[in-house]
């Protein structure tokens, strides 16, 4: 089924974009006509099932230990992802620079794999959160998967710098800033970010997956004590799909590198020095905290694996 991303009436003239995974899924002030899906999440009306999960002090200590592994690897691993605050401080990179070209080739090569991994992760997460019992949700999920399958191309863009985005007027293309392409120096880091973008596309301009997204946000709030609602839920859900996709990729492609080092690459762009959030986004380090709280298997693998 082909899903039309454009809206009716005057709104159809606007472009809608998803920009990720930094503090970037916000209205772009340089393009006044751009409207982001990020702002419509609060319109959701369906009540999710609350998990009322909590974490023991031991689990919290393990989580902090795992964050230490992720951010230590950021300094040790030659293929680690550059922290987003550092990416933001770098000068623009020409499209034909070797680093940007290598990143673009990596992204295009991994796009089909990332699509499959996102679809599998989305199904898995939906089952895990009990939302597939709803016929309404299953229909939305089928449409979301069709949207993911329709993405065909990664377009490098110098002006996008450290952003990645999808314009609903061109839903088959993910636009990727060259700094971002160069800053994700591993397949694991790239798959995580591609999957984040694809999850925005899956959710679409009507927040089709809002039941799932809300449930993820509520559980993350319960586990961490952080306020993760509205747009923050969508960003965390996109990052969670990214981490799940990267983890599945690592499991299916064993190599000589340690699993923990590879896993760390999927979230370590959040190992910032300048740790600031806003109304729509957790701070990067709290993003890692929420992702690991939602994914205790990831915590175990990060801690137990030897380098």
Residue ranges binding Zn ion (CB under 5 A)? 20, 25, 235, 238
Min dist CB 200 to Zn ion, Å, is 6
Min dist CB 263 to Zn ion, Å, is 20
Min dist CB 54 to Zn ion, Å, is 27
Instruction: Report the b/e string of 156-176 with b at 16+ CB within 10 A.
Output: bbeebbbbbbbbbeebeebbb
- For Zn ion, give the closer residue by CB, 130 or 277: 277
164-167 and 173-177 strand pairing: antiparallel
Min dist CB 105 to Zn ion, Å, is 23
**Spatial CA neighbour of 141 closest among 39, 205, 210:** 210
| Contact by Cβ (8 Å): 44, 292 | no
- For Zn ion, give the closer residue by CB, 62 or 237: 237
- For Zn ion, give the closer residue by CB, 195 or 302: 195
Between CA 26 and CA 2 the distance in angstroms is: 27
Integer CA distances (angstroms), 245 to 35, 63, 119, in order: 28, 20, 9
- For Zn ion, give the closer residue by CB, 39 or 258: 39
Min dist CB 39 to Zn ion, Å, is 12
Q: Is 165 left (phi over 0), alpha (psi -120 to 50) or beta?
A: beta
Between CA 17 and CA 32 the distance in angstroms is: 12
- For Zn ion, give the closer residue by CB, 70 or 198: 198
């Amino acid at each position: 089924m082909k899903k039309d991303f454009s809206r009716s009436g005057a709104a159809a003239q606007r472009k809608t974009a998803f920009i990720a995974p930094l503090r970037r899924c916000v209205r772009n002030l340089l393009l006044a006509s751009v409207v982001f899906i990020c702002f419509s999440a609060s319109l959701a009306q369906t009540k999710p099932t609350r998990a009322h999960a909590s974490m023991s002090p031991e689990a919290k200590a393990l989580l902090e230990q795992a964050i230490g592994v992720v951010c230590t690897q950021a300094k040790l691993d030659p293929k680690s992802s550059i922290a987003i605050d550092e990416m933001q401080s770098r000068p623009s990179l020409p499209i034909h620079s070797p680093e940007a070209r290598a990143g673009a080739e990596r992204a295009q090569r991994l796009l089909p794999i990332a699509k499959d991994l996102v679809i599998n992760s989305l199904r898995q997460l939906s089952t895990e959160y009990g939302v597939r019992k709803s016929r309404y949700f299953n229909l939305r999920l089928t449409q979301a998967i069709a949207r993911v399958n329709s993405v065909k191309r990664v377009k490098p863009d110098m002006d996008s710098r450290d952003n990645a985005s999808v314009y609903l007027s061109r839903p088959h293309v993910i636009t990727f800033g060259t700094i971002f392409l160069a800053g994700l120096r591993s397949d694991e880091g790239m798959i995580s970010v591609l999957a984040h973008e694809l999850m925005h596309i899956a959710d679409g301009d009507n927040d089709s997956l809002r039941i799932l997204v809300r449930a993820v946000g509520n559980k993350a709030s319960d586990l961490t004590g952080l306020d993760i609602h509205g747009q923050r839920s969508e960003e965390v859900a996109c990052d969670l799909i990214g981490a799940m996709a990267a983890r599945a990729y690592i499991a299916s492609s064993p190599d000589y590198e340690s699993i923990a080092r590879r896993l760390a690459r999927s979230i370590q762009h959040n190992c910032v020095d300048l740790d600031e959030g806003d109304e729509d986004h957790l701070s990067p380090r709290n993003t890692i905290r929420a992702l690991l709280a939602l994914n205790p298997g990831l915590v175990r693998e990060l801690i137990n694996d030897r380098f």
